[in-house]
């Protein structure tokens, strides 16, 4: 990558800076301060939402205010069932340049990338646990199509698909949605995980994640759910209570390589896990994220894509910030046991289905 030098202070608003002490890139996206935050002031924990909110930008009737639609699925008599649009307040934009610019001893570049929103339903309060299996499959299919579209673009090196649900999980809008961000860099965090998996492979001659699946199936005590293609478990060293990893049984580094059968099975696993999280843990806020290999590492024998769910039941505090170690007040085996049982039938709350 060519280097340029500048001592001028930052003037444009979307940029990325590299912190040489932490090895982390940070995205500066000042325009995101202006985004609507309908959930500010709401109480924590479960809250009832109506089926339609006239002020919600994702509810039907506001289509003209949204950026252009990138992907749309129809269903029955609804004008649309799922829509993927550009984020109106993007963290990264496709106009950015990847040229690094030195500022004294530091380094920055423009905020290149894509930032999309996947609106999962026209119904304001139809969260995933209340959906049908077919609706969740459609979401997974939309993830896959956007993933393939973005990762093939020359400058994109990583695509992150994630869902923030609830204010404690960083969501600013209640309407069911996921987000997709592509970046033109592979962050150090991802490289470190690659490196650990590489070391394991070089040492043991096998994929760490494949070995983990075999170990979990053999031990059994941390498994919550398994189907034809996926195993869902609380990891042995879960960093927080009720963390869940949904792992494909067949080794694939790259989410882009998911098969049609796996898409149906991922939807089924995700649906089952979110219903349990909701039903057994009193409808907590949560994040989930799909970890997949960076570009050019998509065929590696040591990387293995998976989906991680993290209910927001605890708070990262000073010790975690200083040491990178977590303090977990809950044992993975007990958490798995608790989630393994069938969820109670629930009505109302954030996941009420009124569609």
Q: How many residues can be counted in the chain?
A: 355
Place of tokens 């907590």: 284
- The one segment of 61-69, 80-88, 101-109, 260-268 that binds a second copy by CB under 8 A: 101-109
Of all helices (H) and strands (E), which one includes residue 82?
strand 78-86
Torsion-angle region of 30 (φ positive above 0: left; ψ -120 to 50: alpha; else: beta) = alpha
Burial 170-196 (b: 16+ CB within 10 A, else e): ebebbbbbbbbbbbbbbbeebeeebee
* Nearest distance, CB of residue 54 and a second copy, angstroms: 26
Q: Residue 82 or residue 208: which is nearer to a second copy going by CB?
A: 208
| Opening angle at CA 135, ends 161 and 259, nearest 5 | 60
Q: Which of 4, 6, 30, 99 is close enough to bind a second copy by CB under 8 A?
A: 30
What residues from 107 to 126 belong to the interface with a second copy (CB under 8 A)?
A: 108
Q: Which of 173, 190, 234, 258 is close enough to bind a second copy by CB under 8 A?
A: 190
Q: Which of 118, 136, 212, 266 is close enough to bind a second copy by CB under 8 A?
A: 212
Specify whether 254 is catalytic.
Answer: no
Q: Residue 22 or residue 341: which is nearer to a second copy going by CB?
A: 22
Q: Which of 18, 73, 80, 338 is close enough to bind a second copy by CB under 8 A?
A: 18
Q: Which of 37, 152, 228, 316 is close enough to bind a second copy by CB under 8 A?
A: 316
Contact 353, 130 (CB under 8 A): yes
Sign of CA dihedral 286, 353, 263, 186: negative
Q: Residue 1 or residue 325: which is nearer to a second copy going by CB?
A: 325
- The one segment of 70-78, 182-190, 263-271, 345-353 that binds a second copy by CB under 8 A: 182-190
- The gap between the terminal CA atoms of the chain, to the nearest Å, is 51
Rg (CA), the chain: 21
What residues from 218 to 237 belong to the interface with a second copy (CB under 8 A)?
A: 218-219, 221, 235-237
* Nearest distance, CB of residue 139 and a second copy, angstroms: 15
Q: Which residue out of 114, 124, 175, 177 is catalytically annotated?
A: 177
Contact 285, 166 (CB under 8 A): yes
- The one segment of 59-67, 139-147, 169-177, 340-348 that binds a second copy by CB under 8 A: 169-177
Q: Residue 279 or residue 310: which is nearer to a second copy going by CB?
A: 310
Q: Residue 23 or residue 36: which is nearer to a second copy going by CB?
A: 23
Structure tokens at 27: 């995205």
Structure tokens at 121: 């339903």
Contact 94, 114 (CB under 8 A): yes
Contact 98, 2 (CB under 8 A): no
- The one segment of 52-60, 143-151, 226-234, 320-328 that binds a second copy by CB under 8 A: 320-328
> Per CB under 8 A, does 17 bind a second copy?
yes
> Per CB under 8 A, does 56 bind a second copy?
no
Contact 224, 232 (CB under 8 A): yes
> Per CB under 8 A, does 288 bind a second copy?
yes
Give catalytic residues, as residue numbers.
177
């Amino acid at each position: 990558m060519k280097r340029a030098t500048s001592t001028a202070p930052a003037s444009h608003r979307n940029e990325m800076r590299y912190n040489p002490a932490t090895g982390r890139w940070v995205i500066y996206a000042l325009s995101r301060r202006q985004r609507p935050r309908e959930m500010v002031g709401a109480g924590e924990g479960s809250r009832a939402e109506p089926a339609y909110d006239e002020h919600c930008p994702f509810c039907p009737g506001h289509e003209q205010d949204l950026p252009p639609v990138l992907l749309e699925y129809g269903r029955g008599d609804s004008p649309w069932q799922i829509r993927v649009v550009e984020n109106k307040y993007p963290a990264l934009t496709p106009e950015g340049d990847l040229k690094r610019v030195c500022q004294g001893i530091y380094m920055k570049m423009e905020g290149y990338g894509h930032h999309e929103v996947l609106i999962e339903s026209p119904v304001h309060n139809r969260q995933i646990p209340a959906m049908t299996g077919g609706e969740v499959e459609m979401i997974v299919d939309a993830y896959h199509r956007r993933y393939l579209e973005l990762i093939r673009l020359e400058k994109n090196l990583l695509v992150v698909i994630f869902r923030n649900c609830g204010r404690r999980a960083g969501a600013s809008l209640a309407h069911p949605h996921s987000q997709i961000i592509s970046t033109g860099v592979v962050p150090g965090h991802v490289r470190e995980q690659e490196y650990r998996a590489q070391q394991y492979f070089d040492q043991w001659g096998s994929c760490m994640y494949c070995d983990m699946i075999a170990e979990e199936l053999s031990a059994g005590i941390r498994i919550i759910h398994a189907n034809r293609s996926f195993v869902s478990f609380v990891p042995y060293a879960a960093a927080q209570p009720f963390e869940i990893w949904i792992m494909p049984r067949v080794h694939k580094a790259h989410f882009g390589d998911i098969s049609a059968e796996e898409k149906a099975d991922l939807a089924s696993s995700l649906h089952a896990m979110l219903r349990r999280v909701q039903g057994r843990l009193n409808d907590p806020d949560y994040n989930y994220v799909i970890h997949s290999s960076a570009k050019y590492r998509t065929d590696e024998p040591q990387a293995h894509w998976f989906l991680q769910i993290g209910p927001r039941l605890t708070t990262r505090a000073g010790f975690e910030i200083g040491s990178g170690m977590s303090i977990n007040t809950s044992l993975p085996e007990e958490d798995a046991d608790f989630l393994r049982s069938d969820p109670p039938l629930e009505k109302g709350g954030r996941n009420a289905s009124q569609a």
